[in-house]
Amino acid sequence: MTPNISILWADDEIDLLKAHILFLQSKGYRTDTATNGRDAVDMIRKNNYDIVFLDENMPGMSGLETLQQIKDIDTSIPVVMITKSEEENIMDMAIGAKIADYIIKPVNPNQVLLSIKKHVDARRLISETTTTAYQTRFRDLSMQIAMNSTFDDWAETYRKLVYWELELQNISNMDEVLMMQKREANIGFAKYIRQNYLGWIADPDCGPLTSPRLMSRRILPMIEAGQKVVMIVIDNFRLDQWETIRAVLAPDFNINTEIYCSILPTATQYARNAIFSGLMPQQIVEMMPDCWVDTDDEGSQNQHENQLIGRFFERYRCRNVRYGYYKVNDATSGLRLNEIYSRYADNHFNAFVYNFVDMLSHARTEVKMIKELAQDETAYRDITLSWFKLSPLYKLLQMLRGQDVRIVITTDHGTIRVGNPVRIIGDREVNTNLRFKTGRNLTCKDKDVFVIRDTQAAQLPRNNLSSSYMFATNNDFFAYPNNYNHYVGYYRDTFQHGGISMEEMLIPFATLTSK
């Protein structure tokens, strides 16, 4: 069904266009006419039009002069210029004045119809087509979720869900359907992790690529092949956010993206230390106790990353590898890195950590204005994209374009918007993370919680012999009975990490080479 679209057509020979006007009206478009520019401008002041067709050569006020006055009234109205002339300077002036389209006489009715659909009706048509395509694939995707049995199955499912989330992000009538399907998938994924995770830790060769094997399985082969590698680690970075900024980079880089699996807990202290060290957290404690900070203070849990990288190369007998490390916590430090990058240019390997997305996640929880700006996943992605386009990181990548260097963009874990509180009881030494808890005397009645009591089997450190780990799944978050309502109200609908979900565990590892 054609929506209620209003058209103004201004032409001094409008009587000769009666057949076109009737054609548009037969298609359901309300069409008004004017025979000169002044009348057209007056009508636009009095009425709301969705699109204007404007003859370039009219007596009195010309089409270009009329165009300028229309833009003075409303810059958002698409104007299609119609002319007999094919002179390049007229086209240049019209395009410079921001016309939406250009049609040369004699006018074909289908040209007019195409312009309307392209500039006014496109959003509706895209919405209808995309919705129909998703509805067609909904059943297949649900069947795939039910039948998934391997990590690759789940990675492919998540890719498809992210694809449809990006396709449907501005189509409100399908939001709830997709969110329901994502919840269904996360329930199945959590079950899969409960059944398989400890087996991967016992025998890493039987499982997917995980945080501790990222350096040895992906980075070392590049270095050994004689390639210089710049590894960009964006903290707290999801696959959907990566896909959003990937589109910005695609014109300049050949990009290959794979999905790897973050270890548990999906938190910076554990996952990122595991990446740079090539070890599980308990192995770090045993082999490099000076590089493990057992604290709830996120600001200090990764202060030894430079040392972990150095010891990784020593352990793999790569003592001749020159490497660099730099952490970017704000725009100033990002600009500083760009200024001094020449100091790192001759290294075989450089690791640059960017904390913006992690800071955005925490700010969204704590700052009301940021929470309102990033109120849902779509807005969260938009803010990430806006940051990236203006960031020193984007400028660095432009600097690296064309250089003989392999660029890697990845993360340590993702994040999920939580909504369902789960009551938990523990002693005072339990950590404060909302998606996982570790400590003594942890009690929770929720059946979906994943509990690891044998911390040695999970290669996780413990403060005492009776410590265990408890992980929230799906979009749950832990809340204590004390001051429960205030706590739940404050943290519901915030982005958190540490637990088990596709968003937190299935994360991008992208390699970029210049085109």
pLDDT 10s digits, 315-335: 999 989 999 999 999 889 999
- Percentage of residues of the chain with pLDDT beyond 70: 91
Containing structural domain, residue 183: 126-189
Mark whether 141 and 254 lie in a shared domain: no
Average pLDDT, the chain: 90
Residues 102, 91 contacting (CB under 8 angstroms) = yes
* Domain boundary, last residue among 386, 411, 436: 411
Both tokens of 307, joined, read: 């040392």
Q: Does residue 514 lie within any of the structural domains?
A: no
Q: Does residue 274 lie within any of the structural domains?
A: yes
Query: Quick one: how far is CA 369 from the chain centroid?
Result: 21
Q: Does residue 29 lie within any of the structural domains?
A: yes
Distance CA 439, CA 354 (A): 30
Mark whether 36 and 115 lie in a shared domain: yes
* Strand 51-55 to 30-34 pairing: unpaired
Q: What is the pLDDT of residues 71-114, one digit of tens each?
A: 888 888 899 988 876 555 555 655 555 788 888 888 888 888 88
Q: What is the pLDDT of residues 483-503, one digit of tens each?
A: 899 889 989 998 999 999 999
**Confidence at residue 39, expressed as pLDDT on a 0 to 100 scale:** 95
**Confidence at residue 460, expressed as pLDDT on a 0 to 100 scale:** 97
Q: The domain that contains 59 carries what CATH number?
A: 3.40.50.2300
Range 263-271 average pLDDT:
96
Model confidence at 416: pLDDT above 60: yes
Mark whether 311 and 338 lie in a shared domain: yes
Mark whether 26 and 74 lie in a shared domain: yes
**Confidence at residue 297, expressed as pLDDT on a 0 to 100 scale:** 46
- Percentage of residues of the chain with pLDDT beyond 90: 65
Q: What is the pLDDT of residues 195-242, one digit of tens each?
A: 999 999 999 999 999 999 999 999 999 999 999 999 999 999 999 999
Mark whether 235 and 336 lie in a shared domain: yes
Q: What is the pLDDT of residues 48-57, one digit of tens each?
A: 999 999 998 8
Distance CA 400, CA 419 (A): 41
Q: Provide the domain count of the chain.
A: 4
The total of other beta-carbon atoms located within 10 Å of residue 107's CB is 16
Model confidence at 436: pLDDT above 70: yes
- Region of poorest pLDDT, from 280-294, 368-382, 433-447: 368-382
Mark whether 394 and 424 lie in a shared domain: no
* Domain boundary, last residue among 66, 97, 120: 120
Q: Does residue 261 lie within any of the structural domains?
A: yes
